[in-house]
Structures are given as structure tokens and as C-alpha cells.
Chains A and B, each alone.
Chain A
């Protein structure tokens, strides 16, 4: 991927591929899952060639998502560790929402909102996976008792709705904060973007002479 001179790498190629595999799986799971959740949305199963196909595909896509999201956890967990700055940032959320980021505590690679999305999914995805196995009729229909399966269905549905709500926040934030989408498609951001939204991250890159995404990353562009 060509990257304009002077820009910073926000997400490297492996991360971006990993992210979009996860995103595709999530969308497919959402469509097939909602088709089985509410009769009003049963028509969504048509995207899979009918209800039988949606039902059959759903758990397999779930397995891919679990593996894929594990990859994201490995790459992102360190930068998502919670600290007191995140609490202060959350206290100033009204200013953030009003696009007035001056005076809001400086943010490292991820802000508290992004960390919330990350950790919520890190909890919800495994719960969805385990409850999903319990209700996977074809392979595990006889492994657990029916009351257990009923509980698993309810937990699975509630967690899925939670995950969809968080996904909406995630998608909207990417549309709202201009430049974020390119950070995940082409992988780079301008220094001004980094300064405006992730000042601590920007400072750490400048201090170590890194072009991102982590402060200790080697320079990839000769002569820069």
C-alpha cells in the first residue's frame, strides 16, 4: 500500500486484513442471527439462500469470527489497557461529543470509547461462542439438557443485541471522526489527525522517530 510521505501508520496490513475478516463475519452473523431472532426480520435469511442456509452457515461463521477476533485481541490488548486518564476522558465525554477536544485529557493509541468497544467485544464474543455451541443443534443438540439450552438461547440473544448496539457505536464513530475509516482501509492517518485525536500516541511516535503504529516500530520509509 502506498502511503503519502509524512503520514503515520495507524494500522498495519495484517491488522487491517484481520479487522475486515472480523467485520465481514460480524455483519454476516448479524444478518443470519437477526433472521432467526425476530420473525419480522426473517427475510434477511434470503441473503443466505433461505432459512436452512442461514441456520447452517451461522455457527461456522461464528467460529471464523472467534478466531479472527482472537487475532485482534492479540494485536490490540496492550494498547487497550485501562488507566486513570480513561476515567478523566469519560468524564469529559460531553466535550468529545461536541467536537471540542481541546482540554480533554490527551489520548494514547486508543481512547476510552474505543477501549470500551474493544473489551465489550472481548467479553461478548467468547460468551456468544460458548452459548452458540450449546444451541448448535446438529453437533451438540444432545450434549446439554434442554433447560441449559433454553438459558443459552436467551443469553446468546441478549449478548448478540448488546454486540449489535456496540457495533453501531463503533461504525458511527468511524463515520463521525473523519479520517478513521481510511485508517482502517488504507492504514494511515495524517499527523494532524494524530495530534487532534490521539495526542499522546502522536507524541510517543515523534519522540521515538517511529512512523507507527507503535512507538518502537522501525522506520519503514528510507530518508524520512
Chain B
């Protein structure tokens, strides 16, 4: 997306400065996806395409309801269908709307090397500012949910914006607006958490003992949350990570080694300079040239007869 809210960032990728944050009274927002109420109609998927003017290439039929088969630069949200056999041997049809989770601690933003290509607004939305994106794919490595997709056409990274353009003018995201069963809700994170609590209680009373809210603490919570009937095993929902967190490899690469590497390089340069000051250049001396010429001449001089040498 382009940038709609320039004065209320909490994080900007690849910058060490404090982002502009004058407008700091905004509530943290969240989208709540109640998987237990989803009927898999894909209205949200269609609404996302409509509002964002996305038209993915028509793929091929794979014999499942999942269509297209994966997120792509033109598919920012996707219904994932899982046929799960529970302990009793009953079939459960698990349908999860996949897309960016808008982490409170976003791995994509942490990994991004381009200043201002990924921002996080005060309301919690994590947004890609496409004009600053350089297409390196670091966000793909940083993301614990495997969400961003790089376009082969314009070399930019794309994902759900949580309709930051709509939210900025007090509209709910397009998917929320389109959902016919009320399975997708949008509001302040507090309200959504409270509402999810009621839902979870209701589900528990109806036999779903492990029902719960998916708001993973490993990424300091997310601004897209799920109500799951089996919150103890999120991975049965088409591979939703059980305990997502930014990979230790990424944390190390974007954390400790940056300052250490730069200090090391600086230290090497300074050591070189200090050596120059203390020991100075190593110059060939006239004696070296004389000695070398003496040896060359000795070699080239006419050889004495072997008998004279003995």
C-alpha cells in the first residue's frame, strides 16, 4: 500500500530513529476470525480482491476447495480447508482464513533492509510501503507465518494490509464487511478479546473443551486473532504455527552481528592505520638493491673452469 497515516508509526523498517508518533491516542485494533462460525464461502476472499483490485492468474483445479493453492502477490487472503479426523474418528472440516497476522513484534519488519518499506501503525497494522520495497525477500525469511509473497513482475513484496486505507477512514476491512456469518469481526483489540472470551466459553459449554483464542505470545500477540475449537493444536488448521516466534537465526542476523561486524571492520581499518603510524611503510633499501645486483652479476659472470674451483 501507499502510506496513509504518516504521523502515527510505532515501527519503521531499517531505521534507528524514533518514528513520528505525535498522534498516539489511537486504540490498538484487531480482526477476530471465528473459525467455528466460518462456512467457507470465500466472500472474504472475493471482497479482498474487489477492494484491493487484485486479480490473480487463473490456476488449475486440484480437486479441493482451496483456490488458488497458495497465497501469491495477488492473493492476500486465502481460505484453507483441512479434513481433520478427531480422536473419536469423526470428520471435522476445518476452514481457516489465512493471511497476514499483523504481529505486534513483526518478523518481516525486523528483517527488512529498506528504510520505510515496512511500517507498523499505532493501531497495530503492519503495512508494506511498496515504493520503498527493494524485492530482496528478507521479509519472507523474517515472517513466522510464511505470508509475504514477492511479485515476479515488479519485484515488490505483497501481503494483507488489513485494509489500512479503509481503517484510516473508519471503515472495517473489506473481508469483515463481506462475511455473511459474522465470523470475521473488527474492533479494538480489547473488545475483540472480550468477545472471543464469550465465544470460547460458549464453545466449551458445547463440548469443545480445548476451545480458545489464538493470540500467540511468541510474537507479542497479533492483530489478527482466531477463535479455534482446538486451540491446543493450532497446527491442525492447515499448519497454523503452534508457537510462532521470530526465528533465532533471524534475530541473531538482524541483532548482534550487525554492530559487532561494523565494529570489527572499523577496528581492522584503525589497526591498519595505527600500524602505519607506529611501524610505517616497509621500503626497499639501497642495500637490498645492491645485494640483489651483486647476486645477479655473480650468476651472470663467466664461470670459472671447474678444475680452478676445486
- List residues of A whose CB falls within 8 A of some B CB: 6, 35-40, 42, 45, 50-52, 54-56, 97-99, 101, 135, 137-138, 141, 146-147, 149-151, 153-154, 157-158, 161, 164-165, 168-169, 172, 175-179, 190-197, 202-203, 206-207, 209
Contact = CB atoms under 8 A, between A and B. Distances in A.
A165 to B, nearest CB: 5
Interface stretch (B36-44, B51-59, B76-84, B129-137): B129-137
Given A39-B14, A52-B134, A191-B292, A161 B265 contact: yes
B113 A36 contact: yes
Contact residues on B (Cβ < 8 Å of other chain), bracket: 35 or more
Contacts of A39: 13-16, 113, 115
A202 B298 CA distance: 14
Closest 9 CB pairs of A and B: A192-B289, A137-B137, A191-B292, A51-B134, A39-B14, A192-B288, A172-B272, A195-B292, A196-B288
A176 B114 CA distance: 37
B18 interface: no
Interface string B102-118: 00000000000111000
A38 B262 contact: yes
B138 interface: yes
Chain A binding surface SS class: helix
Contact of B265 (A168, A177, A203): A168
A150 B136 contact: no
B292 A150 contact: no
Interface stretch (B2-10, B253-261, B302-310): B253-261
Contact of B285 (A153, A176, A192): A192
B301 interface: no
Nearest to B258: A38
Contact of A190 (B137, B146, B269, B289): B289
B250 A150 contact: yes
A45 B132 CA distance: 13
A195 B295 contact: yes
A155 to B, nearest CB: 10
A138 B155 contact: yes
18 contacts: A35-B113, A36-B134, A38-B258, A40-B262, A50-B134, A52-B134, A137-B135, A138-B150, A146-B140, A146-B146, A149-B137, A153-B249, A161-B261, A172-B276, A177-B281, A192-B285, A193-B284, A196-B285
Given A39-B15, A164-B265, A178-B281, A54 B134 contact: yes
Interface class of chain B by DSSP: helix
Contact of B258 (A37, A172, A197): A37
Contacts of A172: 272, 275-276
Nearest to B14: A39
A52 B157 CA distance: 12
A178 B284 contact: yes
A157 B152 CA distance: 25
Given A176-B276, A193-B288, A207 B299 contact: yes
Contact of B261 (A37, A197, A203): A37
Contacts of B295: 195, 202-203, 206
A146 B296 CA distance: 63
Interface string B232-262: 0000000000000001011011000110011
Contacts of B290: 192
Nearest to A139: B152
Contacts of B252: 154
B136 A137 contact: yes
A97 B247 contact: no
A168 B269 contact: yes
Contacts of A178: 281-284
